[in-house]
């Protein structure tokens, strides 16, 4: 094992020093890799992932939901478009869609939801938040049956050090999610392989639910090349990928496209937007090439959520 680790470190170090310094220190524009692969749930060609999207929710501050005057069965919410919220340029996609969720999460048991640790950092955060399913384009009100309060934080950790990265939260909802929504399946042993094709479902930039594919698990990025030992140690907890994700995607499930199982939780990314060079008064998504070393999105490995398999098993047992 020591020999293997040493060879890997040496190989990475040689690669770093072999690269031109301009390449090592380059910080190309980020977040959309190549073409923007975000699409509406209804437009995604694989029916499996359209069904999985039913079990992905958005975190909303409960104070932003208020009972509709004309219909006690639905919540109303502030009608702020993506263009208004972020000052997007007029030609941008999704500009007229309403924004609301600040994070994403997904069902793993009838009343258990997983998200990023920085999305639910405390009991107070839990108590003042709701999780909304089916926040989709064109929505004008939210059915109360699709809204679930957070009952308790079962397990949560948010730490980052030289040798460790932890960013996950497992919460219990106030009631079981029934009907047609199903708990999602996830990897519970071994590790995902570099090169595996990925799909992510969530709420980019607080927008209605989107699915994005055409991404892969990458070996490492430019920054990781500069600290090979640290990278090797920390990669136990996460992998990098060229996912088209934004703030609001935090907590999103990242699926293995082939197996349909969740490989991890989207926890970190790069700078989402930049000033439009042709119009400095508005912003556009930052964009970078789809090459091997330009993957900045970090996905926390689902296998590194302690005891998740046991939590799911106990929560799924009939009373």
Biggest CA–CA distance in the chain, Å, is: 70
For the entire predicted model, the pTM comes to 0.86
Q: Is beta strand 262-268 parallel, antiparallel or unpaired with respect to 253-256?
A: antiparallel
Q: Which residues of the chain have pLDDT under 70?
A: 1-34, 270-272, 288-294, 317-319
Task: Specify the pLDDT at position 288.
Answer: 64
- DSSP 8-state assignment for residue 219: S
Each domain of the chain, given as residue ranges in start order, spans: 13-316
Nearest to 216 by CA among 272, 257, 177, 161: 257
What CATH number should be reported for the domain whose range is 13-316?
2.40.10.120
Task: Specify the pLDDT at position 14.
Answer: 37
Task: Specify the pLDDT at position 112.
Answer: 98
Nearest to 99 by CA among 75, 121, 82, 74: 82
- Look at the chain and count its residues: 319
Task: Specify the pLDDT at position 17.
Answer: 35
Q: pLDDT (tens digit, 9 = 90+) per residue, 58-101? A: 999 999 999 989 999 999 999 999 999 989 999 899 999 999 99
Q: pLDDT (tens digit, 9 = 90+) per residue, 123-155? A: 999 999 999 999 999 999 999 999 999 999 999
Rounded to 5 degrees, what angle do the CA atoms 293, 284, 270 make? 35
Task: Specify the pLDDT at position 163.
Answer: 86
């Amino acid at each position: 094992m020591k020999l293997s680790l040493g060879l890997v470190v040496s190989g990475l170090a040689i690669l770093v020093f072999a690269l031109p310094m301009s390449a090592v220190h380059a910080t190309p524009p980020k977040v959309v890799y190549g073409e923007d692969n975000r699409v509406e749930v209804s437009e995604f060609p694989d029916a499996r992932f359209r069904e999985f999207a039913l079990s992905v929710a958005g975190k909303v501050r409960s104070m932003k939901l208020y009972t509709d005057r004309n219909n006690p069965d639905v919540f109303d919410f502030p009608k702020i478009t993506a263009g208004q919220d972020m000052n997007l340029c007029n030609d941008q996609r999704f500009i007229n869609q309403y924004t609301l969720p600040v994070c994403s999460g997904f069902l793993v048991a009838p009343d258990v939801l997983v998200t990023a640790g920085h999305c639910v950092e405390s009991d107070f955060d839990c108590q003042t938040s709701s999780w909304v399913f089916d926040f989709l384009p064109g929505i004008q009100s939210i059915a109360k049956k699709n809204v679930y309060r957070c009952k308790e934080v079962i397990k949560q950790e948010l730490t980052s050090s030289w040798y460790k990265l932890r960013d996950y939260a497992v919460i219990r909802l106030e009631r079981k999610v029934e009907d047609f929504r199903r708990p999602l399946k996830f990897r519970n042993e071994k590790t995902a392989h570099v090169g595996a094709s990925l799909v992510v479902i969530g709420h980019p930039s607080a927008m209605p639910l989107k699915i994005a594919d055409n991404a892969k698990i990458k070996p490492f990025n430019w920054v990781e090349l500069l600290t090979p030992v640290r990278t090797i140690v920390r990669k136990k907890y996460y992998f990098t990928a060229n996912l088209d994700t934004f703030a609001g995607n935090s907590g999103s499930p990242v699926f293995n496209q082939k197996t349909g199982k969740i490989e991890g939780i989207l926890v970190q990314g790069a700078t989402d937007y930049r000033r439009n060079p042709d119009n400095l008064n508005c912003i556009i998504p930052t964009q970078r090439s789809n090459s091997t070393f330009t993957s900045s999105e970090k996905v926390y490995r689902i296998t590194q959520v302690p005891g998740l398999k046991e939590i799911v098993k106990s929560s799924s047992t009939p009373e």
